[in-house]
Amino acid sequence: MEMNEEKTRQVRLLGIGMGMSGTLTGEAKEAIRESDCVIGAKRMLGCMSLEGKAVYSAYMPEEIRDIVTSHPEYRNIAVLYSGDIGFYSGARELYQCLNGVCDVRGIPGISSVAYLAARLQVPWEDARLVSIHGRSQPYIHILARHRKCFLLFGGNGQEEEFCRKLKDYGLDSLKIWIGRFLSYEEESIVYRSGADIQPEDLRGLAVLYIENSSPAALCDGQIRDEAFIRGKVPMTKEEVRAVSIAKLGISGDSVFYDVGAGTGSVAVTVASMYERTRVYAIERNAEGVSLIRQNQKKFCVDQLEVIEGTAPEILHGLEPPTHVFIGGSSGNLEGILRCVREKNPDVRVVLNAITLETLREVLDAEEKGLIRDAQIIQAGFARSRKLADYHMMTGQNPIYIISSR
């Protein structure tokens, strides 16, 4: 078949709302009536009247494309998606799969968020929208920092994890409305607090509307030293953190290692600033590991993962980093740099050195090509303290901040 003939075939990607016919738009109903072939997940096909049409149970993009290309006899094909095709939908991947194959058009539907918001009589344009249905999201980080959220729930054992995390991260005061089986006969909407919600409240097809009356401020990179839970483990001070994180240049979907994380001040700050960044805090000291976990919960950064062990050995099983901060190397700087360069030759590295011996290691690493185009800053900070009626400046230890592409 010629390409121009193939393009005359019509494939319509339909958002069918909650799944029952009552939430189908008129345009979607017409597209189904005109189709000679309907493709969708088994649950959605079972909700439609499809007599006299060819029906295929499929939801993976490649599988749907194969059905479309291997059956030229079907001229009008409808592909069903739950909710709206522009809201956490597999339609995005199918658009790409069918690009150049045939005439493709999307028809929007009623999303579960819009449906629940209408039922609860609340506006949703100012809410944060999150899905953990079949995907990993740092939802604790988001719930802790936004006044209003809608959460598409995933099931598959996530019920227990969700309830446990709310309690572990101290989010007992959240107000939660749970919509289950929306638009079906068994539809229910119940209210729970973060303290009393139970896994059984979340079974089935669930969408949550969550209010946080006291959301944490979005982090601009400035977390005061006294805000961290501290022990006897060394901590990168806030002025040095600010410069070091700026030199890292993190943005978007990054993978960040904090090697020798100590109390976790750098890892926690990065996780607080960049919710889509996956953060690994690597620490060998048992007290440090405990402090990192405590600070992780205090600042509600669930995308941070604590890795207990000694670098570079403990790094081998981790995904390749895009950015690395080395606050302490315990004499293993060359091995750490070799490891992260093998994982990603273009990794961005920033490290701190307070001794001349560590600076010597840095210069040796540069000679071996492990540090490229090194930029070395020597920083000295002084903090004021009050003495009687006077303010005295107390100098902090000078530090070298080294950045490398």
Residues 143 and 262 in one domain: no
Q: What CATH number did the domain enclosing 130 receive?
A: 3.30.950.10
In terms of phi and psi (left: phi > 0; alpha: psi -120 to 50; beta: otherwise), the region of 120 is alpha
Q: What is the pLDDT of residues 221-240, one digit of tens each?
A: 789 999 999 988 989 988 99
Using the predicted structure, report yes or no on whether residue 3 has a pLDDT greater than 80. no
- Binning pLDDT at 50, 70 and 90, where does residue 186 land? confident
Structural domain includes residue 285: yes
Q: Which tokens is 349 given?
A: 């590295």
CA dist list (Å): 107 to 16, 81, 143, 301, 334:
9, 10, 31, 37, 56
Residues 258 and 383 in one domain: yes
Using the predicted structure, report yes or no on whether residue 326 has a pLDDT greater than 90. yes
Structural domain includes residue 314: yes
Of the listed ranges 127-131, 197-201, 395-399, the one predicted with least confidence: 395-399
- Share above pLDDT 70 across residues of the chain, in percent, rounded to a whole number: 96
Amino acid 229: pLDDT: 94
Structural domain includes residue 281: yes
CA dist list (Å): 102 to 40, 78, 178, 249:
18, 13, 40, 42
- Whole-angstrom distance, CA of residue 41 vs CA of residue 80: 8
Amino acid 48: pLDDT: 80
Residues 399 and 289 in one domain: yes
Amino acid 134: pLDDT: 64
Residues 37 and 185 in one domain: no
Residues 273 and 382 in one domain: yes
* Overall residue count recorded for the chain in this entry: 405
Structural domain includes residue 335: yes
Q: Where does a domain end: 154, 181, 211?
A: 211
Q: Where does a domain end: 184, 211, 238?
A: 211
Residues 160 and 191 in one domain: yes
Residues 314 and 250 in one domain: yes
Q: What is the pLDDT of residues 95-110, one digit of tens each?
A: 988 887 788 999 999 9
Q: What CATH number did the domain enclosing 14 receive?
A: 3.40.1010.10
The closest of 30, 9, 26, 8 to 17, measured between CA atoms, is 26
Q: What is the pLDDT of residues 258-293, one digit of tens each?
A: 999 999 999 999 999 999 999 999 999 999 999 999
Residues 150 and 66 in one domain: no
Q: What is the pLDDT of residues 41-84, one digit of tens each?
A: 888 888 788 888 899 999 899 999 999 999 999 999 999 998 89
Residues 92 and 143 in one domain: no
Structural domain includes residue 3: no
Residues 281 and 371 in one domain: yes
Q: What total number of domains does the chain contain?
A: 3
Structural domain includes residue 1: no
Using the predicted structure, report yes or no on whether residue 255 has a pLDDT greater than 90. yes
Structural domain includes residue 216: no
Of the listed ranges 35-39, 96-100, 253-257, the one predicted with least confidence: 96-100
Q: Where does a domain end: 91, 110, 129?
A: 110
Q: Which tokens is 307 given?
A: 């890795």
Structural domain includes residue 135: yes
- Binning pLDDT at 50, 70 and 90, where does residue 88 land? confident
Q: Give buried/exposed letters for 129-146 (b at 16+ CB in 10 A, else e).
A: ebbbbeeebbbbbbbbbb
Residues 302 and 391 in one domain: yes
Amino acid 1: pLDDT: 42
Residues 276 and 379 in one domain: yes
Q: Which domain holds residue 138?
A: 113-211
